[in-house]
Amino acid sequence: MPTKNPLSPKKLLLTKWTAVHPVKKQKHFLVSKVILPELPHEAIQHVEIEAVFSKEVRQIDWRELTDVAKWKQGWV
């Protein structure tokens, strides 16, 4: 069984995610923004995810989305 979601940070914008363990009773999220580094040669580190129902936005390290123990790709 895979332990990681295969991802490219440049293709995360507007992708849909389901939290395995709901956060504040929210489990469906959308990547609303890919935060680009200040210097163009640096790697992308963070994305903003937005809760679908509350519209609450929070910033996370995009690599968290690769952890299948925390996130499932799509709205499940």
Q: What is the pLDDT of residues 29-72, one digit of tens each?
A: 999 999 999 898 898 899 999 999 999 999 999 999 999 999 99
Contact present, 24 and 62 (Cβ < 8 Å): no
Is residue 3's pLDDT more than 70?
Answer: no
Predicted TM-score of the model (pTM): 0.87
Q: What residue segments make up the domains of the chain, in order of their start?
A: 9-73
Q: What six digits make up the tokens of 74?
A: 């799509």
Percent of the chain's residues with pLDDT above 90: 70
Burial class (CB in 10 A: 0-12, 13-18, 19+), 22: exposed
1 or 69, higher pLDDT? 69
- Quick one: pLDDT band at residue 15, thresholds 50, 70, 90? very high
Rg (CA), the chain: 12
